[in-house]
Amino acid sequence: MQLEINIIDAFTDTLFKGNSAAVIVTYTWLDDALMQSIASENNLSETAFIVADGKGVYHIRWFSPLTEIDFCGHATLAAAYVLFNKNSNVQSINFSAKAVGILTVAKTDSGKMQMDFPNRMPERIDEIPDSLLAGLSIVPAEVYRNTQAYFVIYDSESDVLNVARDNEKLKQLAPYDVVVTCQATSEKYHDYDFVSRYFWPANGGDEDPVTGSIHTGLAPLWAKRLAKNELVAYQASSRGGVLDCTVADDRVLISGNAVQYLTGFITVEE
């Protein structure tokens, strides 16, 4: 069986930046084990599998090299990019995912794609897990948590950029991942409101280049702290990525660019 595969760099307008995701569209779901094997072979942060229901909705599932993921923003952006290219007259796409419901992605006048996600504002915690403190070389100023991750607040960009981590310690926080973040204040990041990095040894690997899903928590957190609902975020991985965020009550709108890296076919046994 041959399957078309597209690899897209998401949250960037420059090839080899942002976060790469593979996108595979099929008529029916492949076996779960096969989807996991394909994702492991791809060895990208995520591989998105899509099946249309014939009623205008695309069901989507996301797999990291290690496991199926409940919610992935950058692979949703990549999937929308592929589908928009296949259907140039379409202005919006509805995805459906078990954990987060209907996700709408729309073209914008700026040329970016805007994703409509649930607001997953984290809550502050006072009892910080020992594994989190031991897993990071710099002590947090504050810690929050939502259903996805621990949110570590630092006082400076240098802390976010230079923090060292112990992946074995952070794995003990499973099923939670870890995002470190601070307000953007330096000249280097003057175009942005906040910066972050995302570590997910429990669910995907070492450091994720750009993470759309975590900004459904980061954006409302910083919107409250900065008293503004429209923010521009930079994820400061080695590849880097830019996310435009709008917080609107119980929704978070996240916009970004994407560029095509590869189109090809993979051959697997049915």
Catalytic residue ranges: 46
Q: How far is CA 164 from CA 53, 157, 206, 227, in A?
A: 45, 14, 12, 30
